[in-house]
Amino acid sequence: MLPARQISRAHKDQTSEIVTLSYDERFLRRKRLTCDSGASFMVDLAETTSLNHGDALILDDGRAVAVRAADEPVVRVTGNLPRLAWHIGNRHTPCQIAADHLIIRRDPVIEAMLKGLGASLALQIAPFTPEGGAYGHGRTMGHDHGPAGHFALSHG
């Protein structure tokens, strides 16, 4: 199969293959991937990119390979959602947000913290599609508290 050098966020109905990837596997730049059918192809993107469920990788011949989020161990969190979401975000933990629950990846330390805050937790195996960064799509691997020299902020 030809290499994929482009991503489309709008080719959902025009795909010829599907590649199923975990949250970690959906963060890539250059890698050989294997489709659910067994066909393989090389991804060669200009920069490291966070792929979302429903995106498509466009092969050099124009065909599109749909990206599907794989099932993985997650935790469904319910309780005082604004408070729980604040504590999850304060630890820079990726989080999927719904109106009546939150979803995080399995993490015993975060789970213990949430239980201590009164959360109800349900272990599940499901696709994990957390919110992207506040200033555009994709994930936030680090963060910045504003222009240097204006304020000294810390997490201490």
Q: Does residue 49 lie within any of the structural domains?
A: yes
Based on the fold, state whether residues 59 and 107 are members of the same structural domain.
no
pLDDT digits (tens, 9 = 90+) for 97-148: 999 999 999 999 999 999 999 999 999 999 999 988 665 555 555 444 444 4
Q: How is residue 75 written in tokens?
A: 């935790």
Q: Look up the domain containing 88 and give its range.
A: 72-127
> What percentage of the chain has pLDDT greater than the value 90?
68
Where residue 64 sits, what CATH number does that domain have?
Answer: 2.60.260.20
Based on the fold, state whether residues 51 and 79 are members of the same structural domain.
no
Measured over the CA atoms of residue 43, residue 97, residue 77 and residue 143, the dihedral's sign is positive
Structure-token match 């994990």, residue found: 128
Helix axes 108-116 and 81-90, enclosed angle (nearest 10): 140
Based on the fold, state whether residues 23 and 39 are members of the same structural domain.
yes
Based on the fold, state whether residues 79 and 123 are members of the same structural domain.
yes
Task: Report how many domains make up the chain.
Answer: 2
Where residue 83 sits, what CATH number does that domain have?
Answer: 3.30.70.790
Higher model confidence: residue 62 or residue 146?
62
